[in-house]
Every structure is written in structure tokens, then in C-alpha cells.
Structure 1
Amino acid sequence: MPAPQYATDREPCIPVLFLNGRQEYLGWRDVLLNAHLIQDLALPLPPAASGVLRLLVAMAARVSGLDAQAEGRMTARQWAQRRRDLLKNPAGFDPDAVHDYFDRYIWDLFHPQRPFLQDPRLAAQCEKRAGVNKLVFGRPEGNNLSWLSVHTDTDPQPVPSEQALWHLLIHHYYGAAGQCSARTVDGRSLANAKAGPLRSTLSFHPLGRTLYETLLAGMPKPSRLWPDVEDRCPWEEPLPVPDPDPDPAPDSGPDPDAAPPPVSSPGRLLTGRSRHAVLLIPSADGRQVTDAYLTWATQKKLPALDPYLIHHVHTGRNVTQRHTARPADADRALWRDLDALLLAGDEDGRKRRTGKAGPAYSVQRPDAFTTLNDLPPDLRAALRVRVYGFDQDDKTLNRTWYTALTSPIWPWTQEHDPAAAERIAECRKAAEEIGGHLDTVSKSAWSQVTSPAGAKTGRQPRHLPSWTHTARTLYWPRAETTFWALLDDTARPARAAFTADAVHALRTATRPAIAQHFRAAEAIAHAVADLRGHRP
């Protein structure tokens, strides 16, 4: 029986939506060949789509000549002109360039020497397999209870190979930190993994009218700031040279104490910063994955600023800790991040995290958005933003993933309409400040009502009171409606509008308590007065 194979460049593994409304699964090669006919990706898992889009941008940079090697051949102006020329091509990427690129590398998920985005040495370096349930996000594994899934570790079910590829990407980009399968390298055994480079982040991608436009619009521009090294994606690395003397047993895995290759763009930046190592175990025909090894790939951090993340810049910190990515929060509406995308540089100003004391920071727009002004005017006017979020903690807890899509927002940017951008920033800041003050006065009112008579109430409650939770839930949807209305009614004061929303939310949330608690009416009246008189 032939060895199992699953060539991801040709097998139907990436779901896409064509312009005519047809949905189809394609391999990497066909996705690029048909990018000008595809409207968008159609992956059902947002973190997998985030990873797929990064891989496709790196591949598109290679086949279009807009990759890191272009820096030595053209100036920034020539690079921008080259991209504009490509965007005018109705036929998309050059088919010969696409085939030439994919014919050079190995894309097979189960190749014995170079399985795609995997490390074949794990079979010898790991004593235990992690199990297919550990590979697939959402399945219970180990001693965890099966709350919302029919899967159990006593009867693990195989996963189709295309879905295994999606979860493989999620582990590479959003993988957990902490205990993992032990891996022995050079006689040293470690069982601790570091968090993936995108863990708990919110990813913003310029979205064109076709996938072809999306890939070119979101492509990071080469810069002389990147190290002068050969930029390689994992599948572009040379195959290992066979050892003529395989005795003793090979143990030439990555040294956990060795520094990894420096990050370069776009290959290593977008595809080569994983800190997890995976090896999939296929079924006999290669159509399914039945088991997997899952462990650490490197113990070293690969610092770099991902071009699709909003970064908070803390100027008072050490240079290696100065930039932190804005975390994903499923409870936070997308419009609250609009000004960070629309304002150039650090025009968002210095501010503090909502509800927390601490050092001030400025906001840095995603680097992929800095070159959008060079795009043709018709594309800029139609450009939207696709958002992928994975709400996680820093270690192992996965809460939920989500995606969102904006309307065309680029005409509102500071470069094109400074007044609109500043109005958006003003309204967003006012909404945040009033929302934070609503939390404070509702907590204080709750403490006054529920504390024994005469007790001191200056200390905030340890847990979020029901009044605060309900008021917050009522406030933010109303605030979003008010936000969009204020963009059209520029003469209306933003603070007064959001204050009215906060007062309505507080009164609605506490109305049942007035009949239940003797002191509730007075405490709520004081809270409402505090809201109306609040000043920054």
C-alpha cells in the first residue's frame, strides 16, 4: 500500500467564496490561481482563517515579486507602483509564477522528511502522543469533562485532513503555554511550551473586493530595518542532509537554548514565529488524521511586531517590552477600535486602560495599514476591514473566537478626512470614559445598599455586582447606536449623549431593586447625579 499523502497545494482544503456566490474547497495553488475570482475566505474557524491569510500573503509576496528580496531591486516608490500595476491586472497572479513557486517545495501533510508545517523528529523525540482530541480545538481531552461535545478521550474520532490543517495552524499561531508532551533534545527533556505569537490577540486585515486585492492590499512593505538575512518560510527551508552514520539515534532537534534565526519579512514574520511543534499521524489513505504529537518547538521568544495587530506603546518600559498587542475581548464591540485604525501614528494620544490604574500608553496602527494610501482611489474607497479575534488567557484557557467586518472606513482616515477621524476619536473616548464612570458609580451604589448600616463603603466589591454587569450590558449597545448617530450629527455634544445612555442603563438595571431594598432609591439617585455631573 502506498504511503499516505495529502498535498495541500492541490487537495481541496481551503474553503473560499467566489464572486458568483459559489463556495468551494481549493488547495493553496488554486487559491492563488483564482484569487481574482474569489470574494473572500470561508473558513468556519476565525483563528484558522487568520493563519491562512498570513500564509497566503507570504505566498502572494513570493509569486508577485513584492517580497523582501524586492528591497534590493526597487525603492519604496517603485514597490508601491509595482503593487498598483498588479492591482490593475484583471487576470490576477501570473499562472506561470504560481506554478513555478509551488513546484519548488513540498506541501504534503504526511511527507516522511518534510511534512507541511510539522517536525518529523517528534516521533523519535516524544515518548507519548498528545491525541487527536488535543489537536482539535473545542474537543475535551485528558480529564476534562465533555460539556458541549460528543467526543471523549476513551473513543477519539479521527478528523478530516483538511480540518486537521486548520487546527494545526491554530496551534502554531494561538497555541497554549504551559505543560505539554515531553520532548527530548540532545539528552535534555522539556515539557513546557511557550504561548503562540498571536495568542489572545485581535487581528485586523484590509479586505478588498476580491481575495487578489486583499492579499496585495495587506502585504507588508519591505523595509531596510529588517535584518539582511535570507527570508524563508518554514516550507522553504532546505531539506536536512541525511546522516551517513545514524548510530547513535538521531537527536539533532532544535536546541532550546539556541537563538532562533532573526525574524525577517514577510516570510519569517508571517509564517515562521511558531513556538509549537506538531506531527500529524494519518489514516492509511491520508484522508484523516487519527493522532498527533504536540509539544514545544523553541524556548526562545521571536520578537517582532505583527503587521495586522494594534499595538499599545509604553514609552516608559524597556525596549523589548515596549509594544503589547491589543488583546481580543469578545465583550468589546469593534467600533471601539475604529479610531486606532483611522488615526495615523500615535495621534490617538496618551491614555490609560479602561478601569485600571497604570502607565499611560499611545496606540500604534497596524503596520499593514500604513501603505494603504498608495492604493488606487477606487480600491481605497471600497476597502473594508476583516477582524479575527480569539479571546484567550495568557496560558491555556480558550474562551471564544469571533470575526467581524467593517463598512468601508478608509475615507474617514486622518490622511483623507481629518475632521471625521478626530470626531470618531472624540466619540470613542467619550463613550469609554462614561462607560468606565458608569461602572464606578454602579459599584458604589451597590455597596451602599448591600453593606450593613454604618459600615464603610469606600472599598470596591471583590466581584462584579449584578447592577454593574446589567448596566454595562445595557449601556454598550445603546452607546454603539449613539456613536454612529454622532458621526452624522457633528454639532451634538458627545459626552452629553453618552451620559444619557449611561443614565438610562443604570436606571433600567436598578429599577427592580428600588422595591426590594430600603436604601436603593437614594443610592441610585446619587449615582445618577454623579453621572450627569461627571467631568474628565
Structure 2
Amino acid sequence: MAWDGRRPEVRHLGLVELLRGAEGFAALVGSTPGEEIAVLEYLLAILYAAGHAPVDADEWQHWVEERHPLAPAADWLAGQPDDHWDLFHPERPLGQNALLAPFMAEHGVGTAQLVIERAGDYNQFFDKVHLHDPEPMRPDAAFRAMLAQHAYGLGGRAMAKADWLGPQLTYQAVGRLGTRVRVVATGPTLGDTLRLNLAPCERKPTGEARTGTFNHSWTDGRAGRRTFRARKVSRQPDGPADLHSFLGRSILLRPVLVDGEVMVDRVLQAAGELLDPLLPMYLQDAVLEKTRTDGKVLPLRPSEDRALWREAHAVYAATATASQDLTKGADLYDRLARLLDRRVDLVAVGLISRQATATAWVSGTFPYVPGEEDRLKEAADEGLAICEYAAKALYTAAAAARDAAYPNPKPADKTRLLKRFHAEPELWAGAADHFFALMSEVSRGTRPGDGPLANFGTEIRLLTKSVLKDRLSSLTPNGRGMNARAQAEQRLRKRLTGPTCPAYLKEPPRA
């Protein structure tokens, strides 16, 4: 689906039409942020497969600044054999594994298992409602859900039997993007977004781009496709077309006619291909950070405990580092630094999960202007530091309220009682909009210290007081309750006027 940026409705388009009209659509629209990323990945794979990609950073810059047309890729796709792109081909179904066909009639389950957010535990030990759900799914929705599974599918055992294709068929690996935050540079149109994220390819001796192999299906004749009878075998992609169309799942969809319309009514899903640890050339967008446990440098991961905007400082750190060297063209951020006087938005998307169950999609949009990297990083760093200090101040205020309200609690109850007065969750939830407003103002050219950070600090200070007041409102209006409220407010005031309080957050002196 695509949105033209003007009308409220969306349009359902085929891949050829989507590429032909890419300059007229503002963005892709999916049921989840992950689905939108998965479809964008697939469009990038098609561009690479068509050989329509820049071969170095200079050519990439020219393509972006001159809005190089994408029509040649659409023409290439329109000229492809229809059976290569047939979602229901009996031998080579697009994006699927036809080897599962003999088991569909007996073992096929409801289409809800195809949707990451609905499937839960893939083995369905606890919730088997959808196994017999008769509700069919539109083919376009099933196709997009399948792409999301290839990219983001969670680990765990599949509802597949070892005697089908081999014992390894039942063990699903986490998808290529399932463990990290994917960052996409977006422009005013879908065409701009595709060009921004179309990383340059190596050049063949003939001068053409070395794009790699497109994965049409599991049975498309590609040599070296994984089998499931031996040990797990992984491989490196042979190019970006292979990377972006990688079959991270064995999936098969069953078509059925419903009132004369083709629908999908049953699904089989099992283990797919495996990737080796990716080379840096295949991690163009990765925001690298040191892990808190062993100090390894890994791509940024989504966290259940930290909203994605709280990692904005890491995203801006990547752009600030890239801007210091405009010659290597090594990754997305190096190339973006070349685009002077042009704003783009960095959209970060991740999937939070608990074991084999999806918890939530998280996403954030961070404005970026080449040449303003240091200011944006300063604002993100200072903004986060202000919020983290406010959160600690709320903790000490909550502890003061607890100690005054419950002078002699049982040791086992102290944590629970603290949570009653600790307003940190409300602080983080309320601070998000203020943070995005801060970054937006700085992206328009205002120096962080010329007003944006001071305004942000004031808003966070008022928010901190407000959320604490709300938490303390549950105290009884007797002497102990009034004392607990006074102790908490005094502790907060002390923290907000203390020497370690960030300057922009600090409470001004009383007149």
C-alpha cells in the first residue's frame, strides 16, 4: 500500500505500478512499522536485481540530488516472465517453499500464524485458537506479512515435523532484522526514500553493478540452497539483491476462491535459510554500540525498558562520526553527510519480543540535516541527560515518600511500596513529545543553547513536578500522608537545585 501525501485514503498497488509511481507517493503504509520496512527492503531488492543501482558514493549522490528516475527498474520488472513473480505458482511460488506442498492438506493452519503479532509462540502450545480460524486473508496482505516474517521472524520451534524435509526444519532462526534496530533515511517521496537507501554496489569488470542474486522462491533453481537433513548451514549473501530478498522462512500459502475472489486460507511455516554474521558492507544503516555486559560492539537493539527515542543520541553519534570523513562512502551516514542543505528523516524501527512472542513494534523519527550533526548530537545528549537526571530525582522523591508513609515496612515490601510513588514511567512517556520538539527545532538551524534546550529543560522540570504530584495524590490527607508528601517534594526540590543538576533543568532561585 502507498500514500500519496494528500488524500487520507491509501492505494493498493502492484510492484510495477509502485515503482512507476514512486515519485508521486509520500510513503509506504503498512499495518505495522516492520511491515513497511519489509516491503521497502523488497523494493530495494528489485532495484538491485534490475541492475538499477549506483556503483559508488559519487554516483549515489548524483542519483539522490538529481532524482534519478526509477522507471528503468519498473520496465525491467514488467518484462520479467510472469511465472517468476506468481504468488501461487505450483512449483515456484514467489517468496515461498513449494517443498511443503505435500503436507499442506493435513497440517496447514490459519493465516494468523503468518502475522508476527498474532502468531505468538509459533508452536502454539498455549493458544491454538487461530489454528482452526476460517477467516481467509487477501493475497496482498498475506504477501506483506510473509515479507515481514522473512525479515523479522522470531526464533523458536515451528509447527513442522522432522520427517517432512529433515530434523532442522522445525528450528526457526531469528530473522535478519529481528535482533536490531533498522534505520531508514526517508525523503519527501517514496522514490527519494528508495534512492537514499540504495547503497552503491561493487562494479563488475564490464562496468555494471555487482548486485547479486534475487531470491524468487526456494525452488527457483539457485544452487546451494539449504537442506534440513544435515546440520545447520549458513551463508553470506552474494550481493544486495540476495540480502534484501533473503528467505528467512520456509513459507507456503494456500489459495482458495471465496465469492469468486482469490484468497489465502491456510499457511505452513518452518525454518528458512541462515545467514553468517554479516560483513560491514551489509550493515549500511547499523548504529553500533557497546553492550553493557561484555563490551562487544553490536548493532543497536530495541529494548523493552527504553523507548527508542532514548537511543537518539546513538543515532546522531553515528551521523556525527560519519561527517568527519566525507571520502570513504562506507555506509549510509557517510553518504548522507554529502547532502548539504538537505533535510532527511531517520526512521528507526525494531521489534521487541520475549522469547518467541512479539511484544511490540517500536519506531522513532529523528530529523537529520547534513552539516548540523554536532548540534543534533549535542541536543540529543543534553536532552537525554536532563531526562535521566529527572528520573533519578523522582526515584529519590519516591523513596522519601515511602519512608515517611511506611516507616517500618517489611523488607520484601519495600520495592512494591516504592513503585506506588515512583513516577518514572509517566516521566518517560510524557517527555517523548518534548524531545521530538527539541530535535525538530534544532534541525531547523537553531543552536541548542540559544533556547531549545532551555525550553526543553523547563518543560521537563514542570513535567517532573506534575507526575510526582499525581503519584502523591493517593496519600491519605492525615498527618502521615501530609508529611510523606512534604518529604517527597522537599527531596525533589533539593535534587532540582543541587550542584549536579543539569543547568537547563535546574530550578531557578526563588525571589
Q: Does 1:466 align with 2:466?
A: no
Q: Does 1:343 align with 2:317?
A: yes
Q: TM-score, with normalisation over the residues of structure 1?
A: 0.72
Instruction: Give the distance between the partners of 2:319 and 2:292, measured in 1 at CA.
Output: 14
Say which SS state the counterpart of residue 400 (structure 1) adopts: strand
**Identity, % of aligned positions:** 17
Instruction: Give the distance between the partners of 2:168 and 2:27, measured in 1 at CA.
Output: 43
1:108 aligns with one of 81, 86, 90: 86
Counterpart of 1:26?
13
Counterpart of 2:359?
399
**Structure 1 residue 475 displacement after superposition:** 5.5
Structure-2 change in CA distance of 1:435 and 1:234 (3 Å):
farther
Counterpart of 1:490?
449
Structure-2 change in CA distance of 1:396 and 1:277 (3 Å):
same
Instruction: Give the distance between the partners of 1:388 and 1:438, measured in 2 at CA.
Output: 30
Instruction: Give the distance between the partners of 2:134 and 2:473, measured in 1 at CA.
Output: 50
Structure-2 change in CA distance of 1:527 and 1:39 (3 Å):
closer
Mapping of 1:16-415 within 5 angstroms? 16-18=2-4, 21=7, 23-63=10-50, 65-66=52-53, 70=55, 76-80=56-60, 83-84=63-64, 87-89=66-68, 92-94=70-72, 97-99=75-77, 102-103=80-81, 106-124=84-102, 128-139=107-118, 142=124, 152-184=130-162, 187-188=166-167, 191-199=170-178, 201-222=180-201, 231-235=212-216, 239-240=220-221, 253-255=227-229, 257-272=231-246, 274-284=247-257, 287-298=262-273, 302-303=277-278, 306-314=283-291, 317=294, 322-327=297-302, 332=307, 334=309, 336-344=310-318, 367-375=331-339, 377=340, 380-381=342-343, 383-390=344-351, 392-401=352-361, 403-406=363-366, 409-411=367-369, 413=370
Instruction: Give the distance between the partners of 1:448 and 1:179, measured in 2 at CA.
Output: 48
| Structure 2: gaps of 5 or more residues | 204-208, 323-329, 502-511
Instruction: Give the distance between the partners of 2:477 and 2:308, measured in 1 at CA.
Output: 33
Counterpart of 2:386?
431
Instruction: Give the distance between the partners of 2:465 and 2:496, measured in 1 at CA.
Output: 7
Structure-2 change in CA distance of 1:456 and 1:54 (3 Å):
same
Kindly indicate whether the alpha-carbon contact (under 8 Å) linking 2:47 and 2:73 is maintained by their aligned counterparts in 1: no
**Structure 1 residue 162 displacement after superposition:** 1.0
**Structure 1 residue 50 displacement after superposition:** 1.0
Q: TM-score, with normalisation over the residues of structure 2?
A: 0.76
Instruction: Give the distance between the partners of 1:119 and 1:238, measured in 2 at CA.
Output: 7
Alpha carbon RMSD of aligned pairs, Å? 4.2
Instruction: Give the distance between the partners of 2:432 and 2:25, measured in 1 at CA.
Output: 36
Count of residues paired in the alignment:
466
Say which SS state the counterpart of residue 216 (structure 1) adopts: helix
Kindly indicate whether the alpha-carbon contact (under 8 Å) linking 1:443 and 1:467 is maintained by their aligned counterparts in 2: yes
Instruction: Give the distance between the partners of 2:167 and 2:125, measured in 1 at CA.
Output: 28
Structure-2 change in CA distance of 1:512 and 1:300 (3 Å):
same
**Structure 1 residue 164 displacement after superposition:** 0.8
Say which SS state the counterpart of residue 515 (structure 1) adopts: coil
**Structure 1 residue 374 displacement after superposition:** 3.3
Counterpart of 2:498?
533
Structure-2 change in CA distance of 1:186 and 1:345 (3 Å):
same
Kindly indicate whether the alpha-carbon contact (under 8 Å) linking 1:64 and 1:93 is maintained by their aligned counterparts in 2: no
Say which SS state the counterpart of residue 165 (structure 1) adopts: helix
Deviations 1:62-89 (A, max 9, x none): 436326xx4xxxxx3543355247x344
List, as ranges, runs of 4+ consecutive aligned residues in structure 1 with deviation greater than 6 Å: 454-457
Amino acid aligned to 1:267: A
Amino acid aligned to 1:239: D
Say which SS state the counterpart of residue 294 (structure 1) adopts: strand
Kindly indicate whether the alpha-carbon contact (under 8 Å) linking 2:41 and 2:244 is maintained by their aligned counterparts in 1: yes
